[in-house]
Amino acid sequence: MLNNLSILITGGTGSFGKAFVETVLEKYPDVRRLVIFSRDELKQFEMAQKFPVSKYPALRYFIGDVRDSDRLRRAMEGINVVIHAAALKQVPAAEYNPFECIKTNVLGAQNVIEACLDMGVRRVVALSTDKAAAPINLYGATKLCSDKLFTAANNIKGGRDLRFSVVRYGNVMGSRGSVIPFFLGKRKTGVLPITDPAMTRFNISLQDGVDMVLWALERAQGGEIFVPKIPSYRITDVANAIGPECEHAIVGIRPGEKIHEEMITASDSFNTVDLGKYFAILPSAGSHSVETYCAEFGGKPVEPGYAYDSGSNTDFLTVEQLRELIARDFSGADSESI
């Protein structure tokens, strides 16, 4: 699918970007060019130690910020596929520095869209988050705006062979700032801070996130927000998996946090299609109705009023399953030691 094509990934030095690059280099050895677009020269230097250009001649490390539209256009010369993963995503930091988050997550998203329109890009997939569904914090609100910008961009593509789509998923196991590495670091203190004993979250592995983006590149017709069917976990089960002997200190939820995360709201249900492994939320003003989309591309409409949240999910990871996943994905954390 990606052989002989040129790909650019914004935020390419992040957790997702590195996993995406590794997968593409392994599965598509004839990829023409793979451009890592990010603003941190140190992270690019560190990434180049693992993926040196001498060994992977298709790689390019391009310093730039999605806030800079001219730099984006320069980076997208000759690019066929764009994966937009750049974002400011720390909820407390976004609450304290709201317009900085808006400049990257909203204005930066529009800069990416306009550069793709101008530079002949053909396929675009933007990464979203469960916090964009019925958002209660600024980060989620900016990502909802970003989602709307990308899905609506299909309305202004004209005659271009260009499709914009979005993938939305929950907490990525092992991503920077997530609860599992935080608990692993706190375990040696004997106390694990629990925000709320009832709290749940969706869980997806980095590789599953990468595979979903590749699936969306191949399947998307333009305008969809794709949502995976993934398990949930209880925050108390994560704590018991990592530090069964540790004390649980209830510290209360942080500003902008939910007890349960959502990916499809009841209001979304009227535009949502069940595709088997994934859902697709269609734009309300798009070129396809739910009926025509199902007729042309498969799937079936969800029941009116259907909602998909981490608390009412029918699939929950057990403590033992969490322990096995943590042992698999974190170096130095074997199942016996945790």
The one-letter amino acid code at 186 reads K
89 given a catalytic annotation: no
Structure tokens that stand for 94 in this block: 């976004």
Three-class secondary structure of residue 7 per DSSP: strand
Q: Which of 228, 108, 92, 88 is nearest to 168 (CA)?
A: 228
E-only strand ranges, the chain: 6-10, 33-38, 59-63, 81-84, 123-127, 163-167, 171-172, 191-194, 200-204, 225-228, 232-234, 247-250, 262-264, 272-274, 278-281, 300-301, 308-309
Measured in whole angstroms, the distance separating CA 186 from the mean position of its chain's CA atoms is 26
Task: Tell me which of 18, 89, 131, 143 is the catalytic residue.
Answer: 131
Distance CA 129, CA 132 (A): 6
Beta-strand runs (E) in 212-277: 225-228, 232-234, 247-250, 262-264, 272-274
Which two structure tokens, joined as six digits, stand for 61?
Answer: 């490390």
Q: Which residue in 240, 102, 230, 138 sits closest to 179, CA to CA?
A: 240
Q: Measuring CA to CA, which residue among 4, 121, 7, 117 is closest to residue 62?
A: 7
Residues recognised as catalytic: 131
